[in-house]
Amino acid sequence: MTPRLFGTDGVRGLANGQLTAELALDLSVAAARVLADRGEFVGHRPLAVVGRDTRISGQFLESAVVAGLASAGVDVLLLGVLPTPGVAHLTGSLGADLGVMLSASHNAMPDNGIKFLARGGLKLDDAIEAEIERHLHQEWDRPTGGSVGRVSSHPTAVEEYAAHLDSTLRKTLSGLTVVLDCAEGAAYDAGPRALRQAGATVIPIHAEPNGLNINDGCGSTHLEPLRKAVLEHGADAGFALDGDADRCLAVDHDGEVVDGDQILAILALALAETGQLAKDTVVATVMSNLGFVHAMKGAGLGVRQTKVGDRYVLEAMKISGYSLGGEQSGHVIMSEYATTGDGILTALHVLERMAATGKSLQELAAVVSRLPQVLVNVPNVDKARADEDAVLAAAVAEEEAILGETGRVLLRPSGTEPLVRVMVEAGTYDEAHAVAGRLAEVVRSQLSLG
């Protein structure tokens, strides 16, 4: 059985290694053909928008994608360097039939990826992705003459996206000073622009991309430079984006990290206060800290938990009509304004909450009392038996009984490796560490591959 090309977030791999220009071209042709076969282009010339992050490989991959789309009779608008949520927004606002984003998000510079978006800026579902893969390398009737696609630039993409972000705010951010770590990535222009237009004093760092330095010791996976900059400038807060700016993490004025759970709690309470939190429920994953769940329940709000991955959060939001969801890693989806996680949008609305309440980020984040969390990876085990082993199940039940409502246990088989992740939360770090260690030993003894 041939492995699927599409992962949880498009097609991703080493640029010019697994992800070649030939593959990018073929995928684009297949994507255009699948959407055309579904009847979505009937009666008009199809239109696609294409954006990318700052990786140097994005240039040749963009050319390949454009060649594939235009050869399939699709007109193409080049958006240039733009965050993933910006491409999603413009796919909808420009009435495009298809959006393409070239990025490997928080991965290191040598990687890249291709993500396709359907009309309205919506992620393609698994069935359509599988259909695109089936169309790869198939014979087809190529358009000729005047039927091939036209290619043009859309030079106002950043301005339009930033204006959209600012239109979601009700209050000026005047008086707030914020450091923004752009990760040398796709938000190096749009991020500072949107925050400044909203009234904040912005100190951008890592906003001089050269094609090679994206995510290099900066951004949401490396918070120390942000912490130092916030303290150095006496800023009210700092936010760190990743390479394609679909997520962010924060630090308060003392340089203390504010994670995705705390950000989600701040936004949930703000939306609930104005009656904008659909069904008084927020969507999170099973990895969200128990302190977050307690905080939401204490405020009278529900928490719907999903498997790990922003795609599962978004799926639950769409099915049940929820308006806010996110992950501890900083993916936050505000469905009233965006179809995907948006780091700049998240930062803007956290700052708006600070402006509206007059409270510091530290005070707002304090609503969540994070429980110590310990994660142990147990390798070389038969992860398929993790949910079936009676001895392991009994050991987990015993530890959970001891922890009571002051902690929890979560066993997660890895999706890509022969290992099981043991996550434990408890009232103290020592207790969490001890429980995780005992359960890891049971996993090793019961599930060992020999």
Catalytic residues: 105
Report in angstroms the alpha-carbon separations of 300 from 47, 215, 297.
45, 38, 5
Report in angstroms the alpha-carbon separations of 404 from 294, 302, 400, 409, 437.
14, 20, 6, 10, 18
Q: Are 395 and 444 in contact (CB under 8 A)?
A: no
Report in angstroms the alpha-carbon separations of 321 from 120, 183, 311, 420.
17, 33, 15, 33
Burial class (CB in 10 A: 0-12, 13-18, 19+), 43: exposed
Q: Which two tokens stand for residue 3?
A: 């492995």
Sheet holding 332-334, edge to edge: 302-306, 281-285, 324-326, 332-334
Angle between helices 190-197 and 343-357 (to 10 degrees): 20
Q: Which residues contact 281 (CB under 8 A, 6 or more apart)?
A: 301, 302, 303, 304, 320, 322
